[in-house]
Structures are given as structure tokens and as C-alpha cells.
Amino acid sequence: MKLCLPLAATCRSLICVPRAQPFATAASSGVGLGLPRVAELIGSATPGSVVVMAGAGVSVSSGIPDFRSPGTGLYDNLQEYGLPYPEAIFDLDFYRRNPKPFQRLCKELWPGNFAPSPTHYFFKLLHDKGKLRRVFTQNIDSLETASGLPADLVVAAHGNFDGAHRVTDTGHPGAAVPLEEVRQAALHGGDAEWDALFEAHGGPVKPSIVFFGEQLPRRFFELARADFPKCELLLVLGTSLGVHPFAGLVGETRVGVPRLLINRDRVGEHLGLDFASGTDGWVGGDSDAAVRELASLLGWTAELEQLV
């Protein structure tokens, strides 16, 4: 296994989001390994051998706010918070100095107001059929587990709102903090409630999402090293593969393992994806449409729609 990701590597971005597209009913374009062949590979895959990499594109149809799209993304609509630059709202040093902007935004970001997409439910179906090994996700929305996937099958590379912790000076999470206390402050409190929370725990606390300046969870590195040597098929959905170390996972499969990218844009060739090789493929367009087509090819349509 050639995975050499230093544990000190930090997250350069919380979410890498393709621009939202109108909902599609079929994959719009593609090259190389196609959906019919991928369906065959899923059908014949050894139990627990399909690995998924998911980005924010899989949550667009769920209504999750887009962070980066010009004009409509979250980063373009933070003027009310008086930030020195948009990404400061997720910067650990800035949070230590001025936690109020993130605290006010936290209510909007907190999971619970969004339902999983058909793509999330397809991941659940892969598990139900015994094919899924793991979902590695860039997303902080916890929609993978909301679809019914067991938490141990999901690796949230950039953390999520499923826990909370003290903020430290090391980049490592500090002591765990009861999540319900943070949730109550985020959803129902104001500055006074957050201040009381900080005082009760001896310093700043926040949900366990990865900020700029924090280290990725150890579990991400440990399970990447464990899972990718056993991967027989890699599905990469809704990510521009621009954020490391997450993006580098596409190069961690064994030589010759088929890899399918489902994404609006054709990306990843700089990471070794070779769409002329016969083992890699790109399907452009909407991930929900693509997984519905895969479900149809596999004879799983009724089961997928029942989950949705």
C-alpha cells in the first residue's frame, strides 16, 4: 500500500462543491468505462469490496447550501458577518479570536433540515446487497448515516456535526463535549448561551467539523490504508478532486482496479485517472440520474425507489 498521507496534513477546504445543475434524468456524457460495465462489476463484486468516494455534488439535490458557486454559494453570501475573507468563518485561529460569526451560521448548517438524496440511498442499497466496503465522504452533512448506512461504514474526512469538542492550540481536537449542549446553543441560544458553554468547559468549543488549521481525523488515514488494498471497484461521485489529502485516495487502489467518476466535470487525470485505459471511466451530469441508471441495470430500481 503506497498511501503516505502525513497525519499532520490539514484540510484545505471543508467542501468542494460542483455548481448545482438542473436535475437530470440520464447521464449527459461520458468516456471510458461506462455504466453497463460498472453494473456488471457491482453484480460480480466480492462482498464488501466496493469503495465509494463522495463529494458535495451528491448532496446538491438534498438542498444543502453550496459553498463555492459564484454568486449563490455560501462564501459569496457572508457579508453580514463582517469577515476579513469568506473562509475565515471556518478558520481555527479566527474562531479562537472571534467565534460569533460561526456561531450564528451554525444554526443554518446544523443537520436535520435535509433529507438524503437518491445517491445516498444508493450507497445504502450497496450495503444492503453486501457489496459496500466503505463510503469516504468530504461532506459534513451526515446524510450518509441519515440514509440508514451504519456509522462504521462512513468515513467523514472533514468531520461532521455528530460530535463536539474543546478547541486546542495543537490542531488536535480537545476533550469531548456533550453534543446536546452545543446543539442547544446553536439552534436555540444566542451569544449568552455560547459564552456560558465556553465558560463551563474552560474555553472554546465547537462541533467536530474540520476547520482550516485542524488535522483530519486519524480514522480517515487508518481506514484508507485498510480499505483501498481490498477495493475491487472505486466509485467517485460529486467531487472535483481538488482537495487533498482526500483527492489522493483515487490513486490508492491496486493497479487495474476499475474506477468510475460520476461528476459534472471530467477531472482527476492529474491524479492518475486514465479514461482511455479501459479500466477508468467518467460519466458526466447528475449523480442521482447515474445511480438510478445503475439501479435499473442491476434490477434494483424498485428497492431504490422504496428507500427514496
Q: Name the residue type at position 138.
A: Q
Categorize the per-residue pLDDT at 293 as very low, low, confident or very high, splitting at 50, 70 and 90: very high
Domain 65-113+161-209: give its CATH architecture: 2-Layer Sandwich (3.30)
**Given this model, what pLDDT does residue 73 score?**
57
Query: How do residues 181-236 score in pLDDT, each as one tens digit?
Result: 999 999 988 889 999 999 999 999 999 999 988 889 999 999 999 999 999 999 99
Q: What local confidence, expressed as pLDDT, does residue 14 receive?
A: 36
Whether residue 90 has pLDDT greater than 80 = yes
Give the pLDDT band of residue 19 (cuts 50, 70, 90): very low
Domain borders along the chain are 31-64+115-158+216-307, 65-113+161-209
Most confident by average pLDDT, 57-61, 103-107, 134-138: 134-138
Listed in sequence order, the DSSP H helices in the chain are 35-44, 92-97, 100-109, 118-128, 143-146, 179-188, 191-200, 218-227, 287-298, 301-307
Given 158, 165, 172, 270, which residue is catalytic?
A: 158
pTM listed for this prediction: 0.85
161-178 mean pLDDT: 91
pLDDT of residue 226: 98
Please answer whether residues 249 and 136 qualify as being in contact, where contact means their C-beta atoms are separated by less than 8 angstroms.
yes
Is the model more confident about 68 or about 178? 178
Is the pLDDT at 109 greater than 90? The verdict is no
Domain 31-64+115-158+216-307 has CATH 3.40.50.1220: yes
Identify whether 158 is a catalytic site residue.
Answer: yes
